[in-house]
Amino acid sequence: ELKVEQNPLFLSMQEGKNYTIYCNYSTTSDRLYWYRQDPGKSLESLFVLLSNGAVKQEGRLMASLDTKARLSTLHITAAVHDLSATYFCAVDMSWNRDDKIIFGKGTRLHILP
Amino acid sequence: DTGVSQDPRHKITKRGQNVTFRCDPISEHNRLYWYRQTLGQGPEFLTYFQNEAQLEKSRLLSDRFSAERPKGSFSTLEIQRTEQGDSAMYLCASSSVQGANYGYTFGSGTRLTVV
């Protein structure tokens, strides 16, 4: 059974700082997704990572995927308060002939002004 | 295209009652997924459809849960004899067959509270 582990689960940081969220998973996959969720809201797609070595950037967020290490990272540069949210990684199971995505528990990010 | 629509947004029901939720996916998407999210947790897979065929159901989907997608368009999720443990956000997502390359689009969810 696939396990998707995110760490940290909770992160409080000050504006202007940099930090990285890690997503490890336990089985082979070549696709991974990052989502953002604001309190009481649904999931907003941030990044779709489709291959080993994929790197995508949007504003202050950058995501990467290392399929050999079964690791994805979400890096936050010079954090601003608006980035406070919960961030989920989700691993695509289609490599295992299973058409769904499995989520981590999420990283709750709180950025202090 | 208005994205994935879910109805209702909120539902409060008494324990033992039946509830039904609706999901309208993006029109050209033939895959539709149901997930459940409890407070502080990531979404958990419940079931998915390709067109009208239900291809997989999670162990989480007890006999009290049933999902349909009768014409391969909208889907309904019914919970019979609700229990307090059913309180959660129920999320619907859709994708095309090639959806993995573009991600999955989620609806706003239906928040169920069983009292």
**pLDDT confidence tier of residue B99, bands split at 50, 70 and 90:** low
Cα angle value A50/A87/B25 (rounded, 5°): 65
Check whether the bond before B8 is cis (ω within 30° of 0). yes
pLDDT tens, position by position, A87-98: 999 998 877 677
| Spatial separation of the C-alpha atoms in residues B102 and B31, rounded to whole Å | 13
Top-confidence residue, B113 or B30? B113
**DSSP character for B46?**
E
Check whether the bond before B25 is cis (ω within 30° of 0). no
- Chains A and B form CB pairs within 8 A to the count of 53
What's residue A97's pLDDT? 72
| Spatial separation of the C-alpha atoms in residues A75 and A61, rounded to whole Å | 6
User: Within the 15-54 window of chain B, which residues sit less than 8 Å (CB to CB) from chain A?
Assistant: 31, 33, 35, 40-45, 48, 50
**DSSP character for A30?**
S
Residue located via tokens 């998915």: B48
What's residue A1's pLDDT? 76
What's residue B100's pLDDT? 61
Residue of chain A whose Cα is closest to the Cα of B105: A45
Taking an 8 Å cut-off on Cβ atoms, the answer to whether A42 and B43 are in contact is no
| Spatial separation of the C-alpha atoms in residues B89 and B113, rounded to whole Å | 9
Residue B32 has pLDDT above 70, yes or no: yes
pLDDT tens, position by position, A46-74: 999 988 889 999 999 999 999 999 999 99
Q: Minimal CA–CA distance to B109: which of A95, A39, A40, A45?
A: A40
Query: What's chain A's length in residues?
Result: 113
pLDDT tens, position by position, A9-38: 999 999 999 999 999 999 888 889 999 999
Cα angle value A5/A8/A13 (rounded, 5°): 155
B101 touches chain A (CB under 8 A): yes
Evaluate the CA torsion angle A11, A33, B113, B27 in order and state its sign. positive
B-chain residues near A42 (CB < 8 A): 91, 106-109
